[in-house]
Amino acid sequence: MFLHLNLPVAGRGKESELIYMIIFRYDKTFEGLLTAVFDAYNRKTFPEKLLSLDAIEPLFVTETYTVLTQEDKSVRVWKGLEKKVTRNTLNMLTYVWLSELPLSDELLFRYICKTFDNEKSIETNFADDDVLQVHKTAKKVSTEKNRIIEFVRFQKAADDIFFAPVSPDHNCLPLTISHFVDRFSDQKWIIYDTKRDYGFYYDLKTVTEMTLDTTELFPAGKLDEKLMAEDERLFQKLWKAYFKSLTIKERINPKLQRQHLPKLYWKYLTEKQ
């Protein structure tokens, strides 16, 4: 049953006397999102909502289309974006995807469509809410990426591999790996996202994505003491003693500490254990 109101058709801003909703389902990958953009222009129908393949369908849906992720289609859309926007904007789009915020995929879909629909660049059109939200979301992810780089703490295991567990709000771990390869190129290390249960292993030559059984590896946010190298336990003990000796109890200011160092990262700092 349709309501007879003079409201815009879903997705493209044209006028109609019918309210209806078009749904695109896809596999919730970035390549799948780009394929959805390609299919929307190819079919000349644009979705009001983007859903996962198994999501519950909302009421009043008049058409559902399932996107089949295809590399050639996603590559064509990405290459089209490369011709329309700067490298910085392409990075922002990637950051927004990694934010994992609710409806971030729909935000990206609208932004990409507006980019293709406009002859002039929309990159600095902050009067457009989608453009503004892309910038704000990308900045949040960038800020957390920098905090991971600043506050990550490696712990040496008995097999001489350095471990660093993290659990960021956004999926920003991939954005930090090139920094750690440059900074610690002479050491074998693993940086692991315990929240999303995946990480990266560097073997002095290449970086490999991996998964681990973290139940026993990282209790209380640090490497289990049974797995630590002897000198690691000693260094941690010395660092705690040094930190304690510098502390002036009368000047402890937890509020200021949280302002400069979010509490999210405290559990990974030796001096905060």
- Name the band, by pLDDT with cuts 50, 70 and 90, for residue 228: confident
121 and 172, same domain (yes or no): no
Q: What is the pLDDT of residues 164-217, one digit of tens each?
A: 989 999 999 999 999 999 999 999 999 999 899 999 999 999 999 999 877 667
Q: In whole angstroms, give the CA distance from residue 13 to residue 116.
A: 15
Q: In whole angstroms, give the CA distance from residue 156 to residue 189.
A: 9
Residue 122 has pLDDT above 70, yes or no: yes
| Last residue of one domain, picked from the residues 122, 143, 164 | 143
Share of the chain above pLDDT 90, in %: 60
In 3D space, the residue among 47, 162, 177, 60 whose CA is nearest the CA of residue 109 turns out to be: 47
pLDDT recorded at residue 272? 76
- Name the band, by pLDDT with cuts 50, 70 and 90, for residue 12: low
Q: Are 196 and 100 in contact (CB under 8 A)?
A: no
Residue 19 has pLDDT above 70, yes or no: no
Q: Are 121 and 84 in contact (CB under 8 A)?
A: yes
Q: Transcribe 110-164 into DSSP letters.
A: HHHHHHHH-SS--TT-TTSHHHHHHHHHHHHHHHHHHHHHHH---EEBTTS-EEE
Average pLDDT, the chain: 87
19 and 137, same domain (yes or no): yes
161 and 255, same domain (yes or no): yes
| Last residue of one domain, picked from the residues 143, 166, 191 | 143
Q: Are 185 and 206 in contact (CB under 8 A)?
A: no
| Last residue of one domain, picked from the residues 90, 124, 143 | 143
- Name the band, by pLDDT with cuts 50, 70 and 90, for residue 221: low
How would you classify the pairing of strands 21-26 and 49-52?
parallel
138 and 37, same domain (yes or no): yes
Q: Transcribe 44-78 into DSSP letters.
A: T---SEEEETTPPPPTTEEEEEE----HHHHHHHH
Lowest mean pLDDT among 81-85, 110-114, 155-159: 155-159
User: Which H or E element spans position 17?
Assistant: strand 15-18
pLDDT recorded at residue 216? 67
134 and 17, same domain (yes or no): yes
Residue 257 has pLDDT above 70, yes or no: yes
- Name the band, by pLDDT with cuts 50, 70 and 90, for residue 260: confident
206 and 243, same domain (yes or no): yes
Overall residue count recorded for the chain in this entry: 273
Residue 50: CB atoms within 10 Å: 20
**7 is written with which tokens?**
């409201």
Overall domain count for the chain: 2
66 and 124, same domain (yes or no): yes
Q: What is the pLDDT of residues 26-52, one digit of tens each?
A: 999 999 999 999 999 999 999 999 999
Q: Are 125 and 50 in contact (CB under 8 A)?
A: no
Q: Are 145 and 175 in contact (CB under 8 A)?
A: yes
164 and 234, same domain (yes or no): yes
What is the Cα gyration radius of the chain? 24
Which residue type is seen at 18? L
40 and 160, same domain (yes or no): no
Lowest mean pLDDT among 12-16, 33-37, 94-98, 153-157: 12-16
Range of the domain at 127: 4-143
pLDDT recorded at residue 232? 81
